[in-house]
Structures are given as C-alpha cells and as structure tokens.
Amino acid sequence: MLNWASRFQLRQYARTSLWILPVLGLVMGALLGEVALAVDDMWGVPTGWRYTAPTASGVLTAIVGAMVALLGFVVTISVLVVQQATGTLSPRYMRLWYRNRLQKLVLATFAGTFAFAFTLLRRIEPGTVPDLGVTVAGLAVAVSLVMLLVYLNRFAHDLRPVAIAEMVCRTGLGVLGRYLRDKRHRPLLDEPTHPPDSMPTMIVPCTGGGAVQGVGVAELVAMAARHDCVLVVAHRMGDFVPPGAVLLEVHGTPRVPPDARRLAGLVALGAERTIEQDPAFALRVLVDIAARALSAAVNDPTTAVQVLNHIEVFLHTAGRSELYPAGPEPMMVTSSTVSRTLIT
C-alpha cells in the first residue's frame, strides 16, 4: 500500500504530466470509433449522409494525417515555451506551465480524433462504409480546429512576461486562499502539552534527501493524537533536506512510540519545490523573473517593474490576511514563514 508521500507525488506527476491525458484521449477515441461502427451497423444513417468508399477513405486518411501534423505543431509550440522560460523568464516557471489544462486538452482532442478516424479507416470496404463515423469524424475535426484557435490565442497572450507574472501571482494567491480557509494548515498558537524547546524523545532522519513538497497534516494530527505526543516537522515547506538530516522530531513520552517509517512517509520530498502547499514558491518565481529582467543579459526594466507590481499585489494580499488568528483550538501550519511545523 502506498504511503501518503507516494500518493502525493503521484498526484503531482499526474498534474504536471503532458502525456497522461493525451493517451486517455487516444483510448477514448478508439472506443468511440467502435461505438460509432456498432451504431452504424444497427441503425444506419439517412441517404443524404452516406459516402462512397473512396470518398470516406480519402476523408479519414486526410484527418489522420492532419491530426498527426497538429500534434507536432503543438509540441513545437511547447518547445518554444521551454526556450522562452529558460532564456528570459525563470526555469521554475515550467513547474507551473506543465499544469496548463488547455494544452493537455488540445493534445487529448487531437489524439482522440486521430484514433477515432484510424479505427473507422480499417473498416472501409467496397460494400461497407461507416457513414455515421465519417460524419462524426468531420465534426471532431471542426472541434479540434476551434480548440487550436483558442490555444493559439491563449499562447500568444500568455507568453508575455506580464501575463505570466499575473498567472503566477493568481496561482500563488489561490494556494494561499486554500491555506487560510483550511484550519488544519494554520499556525499553532496555543502552548502545546510538550513545549517544542524540550529535547526530542525520537528523531526521524531523512533517508534520500530532497525538497519538502508537501506534508500530510491531517495524518500527522491523527498520529500525534493517537500517540499523545508533539510532532515537529523540522524544515519549512520548500526547503531542501539533505540525506541524514532531521526530518521530524517527536516530543513527549508516548506509551507506544510512533513508527519512524510511517512518519517519514507523511512528508513528501522531491527534486524541486511545488506550489501545492507552498504559496511562497509563486513569490520565488516572480522574484526570479524580475531579477532576470534586470540582468545585463536581458536588460528589460519595464518587465521588472510590471513583475514588481504583481509581487506587491501578492504581498499586500498576504499582509491583509489573518495568518495568525486567535482561537482556542491548536492550529496546524505548513507555511514557509515559520521555521518549524508543530503537530499536536
């Protein structure tokens, strides 16, 4: 059974993967092609919607070739984004760009239309033509073209540094808003039963090393309550933890000490930071873009000023937010603004 950290990393991989949704579209297109063939065999289509075998074969062949070409075109645009991000923006922006749902949906639509047309193409014979499927394939091409135009419009506008800064700021504020709405992720205010300045009775070391990407707060709370102890995450969200460093501390004298492997499995480590529980990551990306714009290689002060405006928006929103509300309940924290995370 996968632990919390492994499930978290799988979710992150699925969100940033550029191939999972297109492959699902490929499978769905093939299945819909079989459904269209079955429906055509059962009910058929009106006379005006029927095609000859050469016409249907030519139409489907053209659709298959066009979808492959469009897939290559979108991949080319993706390469341009990578070059733009690494050259004039911040390489860390790619972590957010991989989450672009529109791009994945466009790739899935192209792949699904390709699979649908190819499935129909193999059933064309001199006396057998999937008339309904050919018509549906034509409609799928029309939808694909509309989505391509929408994608090109989004790409042309969103590749501007100021648009990227606005998107990064909005994403970071969205994560901060979720953090503020969830009481489990707010700082602990009340004095814990075992003060954090006490000597830990158990230390959980980091085995492989990596950046802290996420913390299973609810699971840590349940484990702390079960063992009647205080759990301390010794690093901030986004910090890199070297192998052998202290990952978690157990304070108190629980009757049954918690399992070290289960505790370590509640902190997700990865090669780089992610924005899932780390709103400061968005601020880091904005600062990188502004600093790169002011460098001698880029020398674009206007872009730097525009990015600074969005940094100001982010800081003003965070400054007006009630990050440390008073209350009788022990609160949780996964904020990068504190040095350690207390779980009671």
Q: Does the pLDDT value for residue 323 go beyond 90? A: no
Cβ count near 73 (within 10 Å): 14
**Model pLDDT, residue 95:** 82
Average pLDDT over residues 70-80: 87
Computed over every residue of the chain, the mean pLDDT equals: 84
| 190: pLDDT strictly greater than 60 | no
Please report the DSSP string for 32-59 in residue order: HHHHHHHHHHHT---GGG---HHHHHHH
So what's the pLDDT on residue 184? 57
Any residues with CB less than 8 A from the CB of 74 and at least 6 apart, and which? 103, 106, 107, 110, 148, 151
What is the spatial distance between Cα 177 and Cα 333, in angstroms, rounded to a whole number?
14
Tens digits of per-residue pLDDT, 233-273? 888 888 999 999 999 999 888 888 899 999 999 999 999 89
Cα–Cα distance measured from residue 263 to residue 204, given in angstroms and rounded to the nearest whole number: 8
Q: What is the pLDDT of residue 195?
A: 52
What is the rounded CA–CA span in Å between residue 198 and residue 145?
Answer: 64
pLDDT tens digits for 101-132? 898 999 999 999 999 999 999 888 887 888 88
The tokens of 219 are what? 């699971």
| CA 264 vs CA 3, 78, 332: distances in Å | 9, 36, 18
Task: Pull the structure tokens for residue 65.
Answer: 């070739």
